[in-house]
Amino acid sequence: MAYSGSRRVQNLPPYLFARIDRLIEEKKAQGVDVISLGIGDPVEPTPDHIIEAHIEALRDPENHRYPSYTGLRAFRVAAARWMEQRFGVSLDPDREILPLIGSKEGIAHTPWALVNEGEVVLVPNPAYPVYETATLLAGAEPYHLPLLEENAFLADVRAVPTDIARRATLMFLNYPNNPTSATADLAYFSEVVEWARENGILIAHDNAYSEITFGSYAAPSILEVEGARDIAIEFHSLSKSYNMTGWRIGFVAGNADAIDALGRLKTNIDSGIFNPIQYAGIEALERGAADIAAMVRIYERRRERVWAFLDRVGLQYWKSDATIYVWVRVPDGETSESFTSYLLERAGVVVSPGSAYGHHGEGYIRISLTVPDSRLEEAVSRLESVL
């Protein structure tokens, strides 16, 4: 028997990095020392005190058993305290916070838990691909919210046609944004909350980059908007903030009914997060502020290097005060993919083609700052020599 997968799986959009991946393999086979600026995955280690908290919890046999579906109460309390200290948002740790096996897991299950087949889900484009694939897997219909440079990459919800707004039950948003690096202020979130309320649409805001911000800029939580918790949930991730991508831990905060539905779905799928990982998470949330500050200084330095290089070669880019990405316009006459291929072919440097995040990403590439400084220097000098 040959198994080609269910229609559900077959209907997933093609994996757009496939061609680039093939090119990378070819280059490596030719002995080229390929440098990847394509992936947003911190290379610095998880801070020691977080690892120590994990090891200590690991030695307690109580922690080797099935964890609770709703997570350790101590983790939910730590998350609620962090939301209070960071954003001034006070949440009930038992009803308005749910730990997740990485925020991706919660995002992927959200349409399934909260949207019926045939309903519309508003999905930014370009975007983190999970919003759209999760929508499709739930049998719902994605409707794209274009993120355009002329709107500072903010989704214009007022431009959504009335009939679509009427059929929509969920919308995804993500600021600070991957891949464009754009940020949103509270005035924007207020507008979206008002519009979502008028139309009865649940907002799922992905705040994975809330802590990776530069200068005096601090990213807000959508839950700071008056009444937002009636209509919004927000995803938080420990991955990018504390160099914990491999640990798989995050949480969702906000509307209690939506969180209850997500929790009910999850009890039928997973069995929670390994307790020692939650103890590491508590340590990060309670005592990780200095680690974030240190990482932000590193990204800030790398971002300056990349900006200076782009200025020298005359490439346009979005000047943002957040995220680990630089969103760059490709030169005239190039597409996202042709320019990506050119840089790989000529310089052995991998970037992400903007089109991989949706068709409105066409005409851009994304440069990630998650490479060691010395590799970034090498990449920049190679790129400069071919541009």
Ligand X SMILES: *Cc1c(COP(=O)(O)O)cnc(C)c1O
| Residue 230 CB, nearest approach to ligand X (Å) | 24
| Residue 257 CB, nearest approach to ligand X (Å) | 23
| Residue 251 · residue 280 · CB < 8 Å | no
Name which of 206 and 291 has its Cβ closer to ligand X.
206
Name which of 208 and 328 has its Cβ closer to ligand X.
208
Name which of 47 and 102 has its Cβ closer to ligand X.
102
Rounded CA separation 44/245 (Å) = 11
Rounded CA separation 201/113 (Å) = 14
Sheet holding 250-254, edge to edge: 97-100, 250-254, 232-237, 202-206, 168-173, 120-125, 141-146
Cα dihedral: 7, 11, 15, 18 (round 10): 70
Name which of 17 and 342 has its Cβ closer to ligand X.
17
Rounded CA separation 86/90 (Å) = 10
Q: Which two tokens stand for residue 347?
A: 């310089």
| Residue 118 CB, nearest approach to ligand X (Å) | 26
Q: Is the dihedral of CA 272, 93, 240, 290 positive or negative?
A: negative
| Residue 138 CB, nearest approach to ligand X (Å) | 18
| Residue 125 CB, nearest approach to ligand X (Å) | 13
| Residue 238 · residue 249 · CB < 8 Å | yes
Taking CA atoms, 313 is separated from 303, 330, 339, in Å, by: 15, 12, 14
Count other C-beta atoms under 10 Å from residue 113's C-beta. 18
Nearest to 181 by CA among 16, 340, 299, 84: 299
Rounded CA separation 316/296 (Å) = 23
Q: Point out which residues bind ligand X (CB under 6 A).
A: 40, 102-104, 128, 174, 178, 206, 208, 237, 239-240, 245, 250
Name which of 199 and 239 has its Cβ closer to ligand X.
239
| Residue 224 CB, nearest approach to ligand X (Å) | 19
| Residue 115 CB, nearest approach to ligand X (Å) | 19
Name which of 309 and 327 has its Cβ closer to ligand X.
327
| Residue 247 CB, nearest approach to ligand X (Å) | 8
Q: Which two tokens stand for residue 93?
A: 């740790």
306: exposed, middle or buried (Cβ count in 10 Å: 0-12, 13-18, 19+)? buried
| Residue 342 CB, nearest approach to ligand X (Å) | 26
